[in-house]
C-alpha cells in the first residue's frame, strides 16, 4: 500500500498518500515535488520532474482497476519499467515513455491524445514500443514479423525506442512465472533469439546477462538448475582463490607505481557458463574461468601498463589475449582481455579498462545519458555503431516473406564477427564465415554486382575464401562482370544473398514486366486496361506499394514479389464506382454465385445433373474458376475453363452453362491436381524449403522433379493437390515470397492455362 506521505492530492485528484501499490523510494521523492531523487543520478529540472509526475498520474488513472497475472495492480509494471530506465540514466522523455508504454495498447487512449498531452517525442517512443495487437493477422508469424518491422523503423528514428522495449521485456521476464508454461517458453525463446542479442548490440551488459539467464531458466530448467547448483557448491572455494589472486595483483600494481585503480572479481552468468560448455564440449569441472578479475584504471596507457604487470606476475595462456581498446567491438565495447595461470594453477580471466570504458560496458548506448547534463540526449541512428540497424531496415525491404525475415534477424543479431580492413585501412565487421563477396556487397551493391575477383593480404584468392581477423581485402571489379548463382551457396550475409537474388530478378526484367502485365490484365480484363495503367491512380498504387513507377510494380508482380490481388485491393481503397477504368476493375472482380435450390444436388457441378461428365484434361479447371460445359459424342459433358483455347473453337450449340456447387464442395473436401513450375536460385536446400512451406499448409505433393543447369537457375516441377482456386492462389503467393523463387507458373496436367 502507500508508503511515506508524499503529497495530499495530485493535479488529477489522486490521493497520493494512499496509492494501491508499493511505491519505490525514487518515485516517492518525485511525487513529493523533489527534483533530486537521491539515488546518485542526475537531478531533473523542474520542467522534467513535472513531465514525469504527469506521466505517472496519467498512466495510473488509465490503468486503474487493471491487474497483472500475479494479482498486483497493473501500474506496478510501468513503474518498474520507468525505474529500470531511470537506473540507466534515461532522460525525462525516456522515463516518461516507460510510465506510458502500455496505455495505447491496453486502454482506449489514442496516439494523438498522447501527443497532445506529452509531446511528439513521447508519442514516438510509445508508438515504437506498442504492439500491433489491435490488427488482424493471418498467423502469429506475420504478427511477430510486423511487430519487429514496426519497432525497427521506430528505432531508426530514435534509438531510445529499443531501450524502452528492453526495459519492458526485462521486467516481464522477471515476472514470467505467473504465465502458462507454453507462454513462458514462447516469450523466453523470443527473448533469447531477439532481445538479448539486441541488448548486446546496444552494449547494455546488465540487461543482456539477466535476459539470457531468465530465458535460459524457462527454456531448459533442468540444465539451469544443475549449473546453478554446481556454481553454488564451489562458490566459497572459488571466491577464496580469486581473493588470493586479487591481493597478489594489488601488491604488484602498487610496486609498479600505479596509484589509482579498482580491482574486483566478477562471476560469469549461468547462461555464459552453459554456452561455453556447449561450444567447447566440456563438462562443468573442465570450465576453470568461472570468474573474471576486473581492473579499472584512469587512462588507456595505464591499461597497457597493468597488462604488462599481469603478464609479468602470472603466466599468460597463449591465444587468449584480445585487444578491444585498439579494435573496439561494433557496440563500442572496449577492454583488454587476457587469461593467465593463477596461483592455484587454474586459469583466471583478467579484464582491464578505464572508468569510461566500464560505463560503456555496463550501460552501452545509455552510458552517455547517465553522465551527461540535461538536454542533447538523442542518439543519431546514422552513426557507424548502428550499421547493423541499417542492415535490418534493408532486410525489411528485401525480405517480403515473414518467416525468412524473422530467421534473418535471429541469424544476424547474434554477435559472432570477423574484423577486416579495406585497402584504405577502414575497419569493417562481418559475420563469421564471410567471404570476399560478402565484403564486396558490404561496400556497395554495385561493387558486389561487378565483383570479378579478390585479393586478401595482397594475394589473389578464390571468392569463397573465408575471411579472418585482420585481413586486408581488395575487390577486383570489371564492367561486364555479374553475380554467379554459385555465390548463393557460400556467402554468409543475408545482404549479399538478397542482392544476388535481386540481380537475377532484375536481369529478367522485360520478361517479368510482360508477365506482370498479363497477370493483371487477366484479372481486370482488356477493356480500359491500357488507360488504367497510364492513370494517376495506378501510379499512386505503385507508390503506396513502395515502387517508383508502374513498370516497377508490374515487374515485381511478374517475379512474384507481390500478387495481383494485392494490387486490385489497393486500387479499390477509398473509391466509389464511377465511369473510369476502376469501375471496370470492380465490375470484373470475381463475385460469389448465390445458392439456389439446385445446390441440393450431390454433384459438385450444377447443370449436369443425371448426365455423365468429366473435367477437361486440357485446362483442368478448379473450383472457383469460371467454367463451361461442352457436349461430346461419346464422353458426355466435358467441363472446361471458360478461357480454355479449345472452347473458342467449339460451336455454340454444344456449349452448356454450368457452375460449381459450392455447398457440396465444402462438404466433401475433394482435391484436384495442379502442376507448378518454379524457376529458382540453385542452392543447397531450396527444394527442402519449398516442400516445408507446402507441408506447413498441409498440402499433399504427388511428385517433384528438379532440373539443374550449369551456372543457371534451376527448374522444379511439382504436382500438388488443392481444394480450389483460392487455395492455389494462396499457395502461389506464399511460394513467390520465398527469395529463391524467381518465376512461378501453374501448369495443369496434360496442358496449361
What are 294's strand-pairing partners?
Answer: 264, 351
Interatomic CA distance for residues 260 and 355, integer angstroms: 11
If one counts every other C-beta atom within 10 angstroms of the C-beta of residue 372, the result is 13
Interatomic CA distance for residues 300 and 325, integer angstroms: 8
727-743 in b/e form (b: 16+ CB < 10 A) is: bbbbbbbbbbbbbbbbb
Is 102 known to be catalytic? no
Catalytic: which of 20, 50, 87, 106?
106
Beginning with the edge strand found earlier in the chain, give each strand of the sheet holding 714-722 in spatial order: 701-707, 714-722, 672-680, 741-747
Q: Where are the alpha helices (DSSP H) in 611-724?
A: 662-668, 686-696
What are 677's strand-pairing partners?
Answer: 717, 745
Dmax over Cα atoms in the chain, in whole Å? 111
| C-alpha cell at position 654 | 454444344
Interatomic CA distance for residues 395 and 502, integer angstroms: 12
Give the position of cell 551457396: 489
Interatomic CA distance for residues 376 and 368, integer angstroms: 10
353: enclosing H helix or E strand = strand 347-354
Residue 319, C-beta contacts closer than 8 angstroms, at least 6 positions apart = none
Residue 158, C-beta contacts closer than 8 angstroms, at least 6 positions apart = 121, 124, 125, 128, 378, 379, 381
Is 105 known to be catalytic? yes
| C-alpha cell at position 193 | 533469439
Interatomic CA distance for residues 49 and 34, integer angstroms: 8
Residue 645, C-beta contacts closer than 8 angstroms, at least 6 positions apart = 618
If one counts every other C-beta atom within 10 angstroms of the C-beta of residue 257, the result is 7
Q: How far is CA 379 from the centre of its chain?
A: 22
If one counts every other C-beta atom within 10 angstroms of the C-beta of residue 557, the result is 25
Catalytic: which of 50, 72, 105, 115?
105
Phi and psi at residue 469, in whole multiples of 5°? Answer: -55, 130
572: enclosing H helix or E strand = helix 564-572
Interatomic CA distance for residues 289 and 298, integer angstroms: 26
Tally the residues of the chain.
753
Strand, coil or helix: 257: coil
CA atoms within 13 A on the CB side of 645: 4
Catalytic residues: 105-106
Amino acid at each position: 500500500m502507500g508508503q511515506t506521505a508524499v503529497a495530499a492530492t495530485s493535479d488529477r485528484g489522486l490521493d497520493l498518500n494512499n496509492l494501491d501499490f508499493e511505491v519505490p523510494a525514487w518515485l516517492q521523492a518525485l511525487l513529493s515535488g523533489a527534483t533530486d531523487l537521491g539515488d546518485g543520478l542526475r537531478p531533473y529540472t523542474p520542467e522534467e520532474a513535472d513531465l514525469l509526475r504527469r506521466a505517472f498520474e496519467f498512466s495510473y488513472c488509465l490503468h486503474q482497476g487493471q491487474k497483472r497475472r500475479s494479482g498486483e495492480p497493473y501500474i506496478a509494471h510501468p513503474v518498474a519499467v520507468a525505474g529500470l530506465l531511470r537506473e540507466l540514466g534515461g532522460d525525462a522523455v525516456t522515463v516518461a515513455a516507460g510510465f506510458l508504454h502500455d496505455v495505447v495498447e491496453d486502454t482506449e487512449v489514442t496516439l494523438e491524445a498522447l501527443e497532445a498531452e506529452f509531446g511528439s517525442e513521447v508519442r514516438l517512443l510509445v508508438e515504437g514500443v506498442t504492439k500491433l495487437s489491435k490488427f488482424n493477422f493471418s498467423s502469429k508469424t506475420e504478427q511477430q514479423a510486423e511487430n519487429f518491422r514496426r519497432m525497427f523503423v521506430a528505432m531508426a528514428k530514435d534509438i531510445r525506442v529499443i531501450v524502452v522495449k528492453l526495459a519492458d521485456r526485462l521486467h516481464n521476464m522477471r515476472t514470467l512465472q505467473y504465465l502458462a508454461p507454453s507462454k513462458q517458453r514462447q516469450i523466453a525463446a523470443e527473448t533469447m533469439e531477439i532481445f538479448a542479442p539486441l541488448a548486446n548490440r546496444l552494449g547494455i551488459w546488465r540487461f543482456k546477462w539477466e535476459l539470457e539467464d531468465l530465458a535460459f531458466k524457462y527454456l531448459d530448467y533442468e540444465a539451469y538448475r544443475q549449473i546453478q547448483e554446481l556454481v553454488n557448491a564451489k562458490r566459497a572455494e572459488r571466491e577464496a582463490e580469486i581473493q588470493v589472486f586479487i591481493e597478489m595483483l594489488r601488491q604488484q600494481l602498487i610496486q609498479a607505481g600505479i596509484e589509482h585503480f579498482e580491482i574486483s572479481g566478477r562471476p560469469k552468468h549461468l547462461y555464459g557458463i552453459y554456452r561455453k560448455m556447449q561450444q567447447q564440449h566440456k563438462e562443468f569441472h573442465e570450465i576453470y574461468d568461472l570468474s573474471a578479475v576486473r581492473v579499472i584504471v584512469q587512462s588507456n596507457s595505464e591499461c597497457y601498463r597493468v597488462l604488462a604487470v599481469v603478464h609479468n606476475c602470472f603466466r599468460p595462456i597463449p591465444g587468449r589475449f584480445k585487444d578491444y581498446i585498439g579494435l573496439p567491438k561494433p557496440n563500442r565495447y572496449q577492454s583488454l582481455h587476457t587469461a593467465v595461470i593463477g596461483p592455484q594453477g587454474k586459469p583466471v580471466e583478467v579484464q582491464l579498462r578505464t572508468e569510461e570504458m566500464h560505463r560503456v560496458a555496463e550501460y552501452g548506448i545509455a552510458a552517455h545519458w547517465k553522465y551527461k547534463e540535461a538536454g542533447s540526449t538523442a542518439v543519431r541512428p546514422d552513426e557507424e555503431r548502428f550499421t547493423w540497424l541499417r542492415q535490418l531496415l534493408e532486410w525489411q525491404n528485401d525480405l517480403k516473406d515473414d518467416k525468412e525475415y524473422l530467421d534473418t534477424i535471429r541469424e544476424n543479431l547474434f554477435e559472432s564477427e570477423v574484423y577486416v580492413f579495406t585497402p584504405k585501412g577502414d575497419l569493417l565487421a562481418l559475420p563469421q564465415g564471410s567471404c570476399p563477396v560478402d565484403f564486396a556487397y558490404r561496400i556497395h551493391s554495385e561493387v558486389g554486382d561487378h565483383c570479378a575477383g579478390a585479393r586478401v593480404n595482397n594475394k589473389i584468392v578464390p571468392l569463397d575464401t573465408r575471411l579472418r581477423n585482420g585481413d586486408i581485402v581488395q575487390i577486383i571489379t570489371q564492367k561486364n562482370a555479374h553475380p554467379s548463382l554459385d555465390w548463393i551457396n557460400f556467402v554468409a550475409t543475408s545482404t549479399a544473398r538478397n542482392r544476388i537474388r535481386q540481380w537475377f530478378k532484375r536481369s529478367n526484367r522485360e520478361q517479368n514486366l510482360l508477365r506482370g502485365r498479363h497477370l493483371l490484365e487477366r484479372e481486370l480484363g482488356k477493356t480500359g486496361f491500357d488507360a488504367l495503367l497510364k492513370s494517376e491512380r495506378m501510379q499512386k498504387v505503385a507508390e503506396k506499394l513502395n515502387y517508383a513507377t508502374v513498370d516497377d510494380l508490374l515487374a515485381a508482380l511478374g517475379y512474384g514479389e507481390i500478387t495481383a490481388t494485392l494490387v486490385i485491393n489497393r486500387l479499390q481503397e477509398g473509391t466509389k464506382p464511377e465511369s473510369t477504368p476502376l469501375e471496370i476493375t470492380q465490375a470484373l472482380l470475381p463475385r460469389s454465385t448465390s445458392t439456389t435450390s439446385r445446390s441440393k444436388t450431390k454433384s459438385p457441378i450444377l447443370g449436369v445433373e443425371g448426365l455423365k461428365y468429366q473435367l477437361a484434361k486440357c485446362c483442368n479447371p478448379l473450383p472457383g474458376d469460371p467454367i463451361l460445359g461442352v457436349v461430346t459424342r461419346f464422353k458426355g459433358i466435358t467441363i472446361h475453363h471458360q478461357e480454355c483455347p479449345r472452347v473458342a473453337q467449339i460451336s455454340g450449340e454444344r456449349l452448356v452453362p454450368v457452375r460449381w456447387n459450392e455447398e457440396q464442395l465444402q462438404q466433401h473436401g475433394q482435391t484436384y491436381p495442379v502442376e507448378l513450375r518454379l524457376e529458382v536460385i540453385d542452392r543447397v536446400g531450396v527444394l527442402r524449403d519449398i516442400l516445408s512451406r507446402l507441408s506447413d499448409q498441409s498440402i499433399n505433393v504427388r511428385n517433384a522433379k528438379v532440373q539443374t543447369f550449369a551456372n543457371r537457375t534451376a527448374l522444379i516441377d511439382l504436382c500438388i493437390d488443392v481444394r480450389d482456386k483460392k487455395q492455389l492462389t494462396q499457395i502461389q503467393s506464399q511460394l513467390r515470397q520465398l527469395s529463391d523463387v524467381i518465376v512461378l507458373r501453374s501448369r495443369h496436367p496434360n496442358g496449361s492455362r
